[in-house]
Amino acid sequence: MIGWALRWVLLWCGATLLLITAMNGGPWLPSLDKIKPERLTTPAEPIRAPISNTLIYPADSRGHVVLEAIVNGASVRFLVDTGASLVSLTSKDARAAGFNPRQLSFIERASTANGEVRIAPIRLREIRLGQLAIADVPAAVIENLKISLLGMSFLTRLRSCEMRDGKLTISW
């Protein structure tokens, strides 16, 4: 009888130890620290939505949504960033959208996650995502920005913008 009870105690202790180890990542699961981040290179293609005036973009494996938009007639790759107050363009994307770098005035400063940066305020004639077009969008060109950001000066002009189940749904 004692042997049987001891066997069950050891079995349950082992199962509990395995469960705790699995919940903490376990030695057989890769550590999140060891996973290399993907490069933000491929914009997501919108998924056709059953509802008109709706676009759906899948997030990448890190939860980021990168999409292609048309800004003043030029193709620009954006990272959707709800933490950015303004649509922010790289110098290269601003040039493609028709802004002469020599005529930009970096007269304002903004606080970002990476510290304070100089910005040149601009207004975009139009940002187009598929059949959606938003005109007269406040924006900025930020020095040394790596990828353009689709910020709140665009997103607040939508009827709704929701991230759920790894998909960004925008409606207008």
Q: What is the pLDDT of residue 2?
A: 73
pTM for the model stands at 0.72
Q: Where are the domains of the chain?
A: 2-33, 38-171
- The mean pLDDT value for 51-59 works out to 90
Confidence of residue 60 (pLDDT cuts 50, 70, 90): very high
Residue whose tokens read 């990828």: 147
Query: CA 151 to CA 120: how far, in whole Å?
Result: 15
In this prediction, residue 46 carries a pLDDT of 73
Contact present, 55 and 167 (Cβ < 8 Å): no
Mean pLDDT highest for which of 7-16, 108-117, 118-127?
Answer: 118-127
Q: Specify the residue for token string 């353009």.
A: 148
| CATH architecture for the domain at 38-171 | Beta Barrel (2.40)
Rounded Cα distance between 78 and 89, Å, is 9
pLDDT at residue 79 greater than cutoff 70: yes
**pLDDT tens figures, 141-167:** 999 999 999 999 999 999 999 999 999
Note the pLDDT of residue 95.
Answer: 98
pLDDT of residue 52: 78
Buried b (16+ CB within 10 A) or exposed e, 138-170: ebbbbeebebbbbbbbbbeebeebeeeeeebbb
- 9 — pLDDT class (breaks 50, 70, 90): low
Residue 149 to residue 129: CA distance in whole angstroms: 14
Q: Give residue 147's pLDDT.
A: 96
Compute the distance between CA of residue 145 and CA of residue 65 in angstroms, rounded to an integer: 17
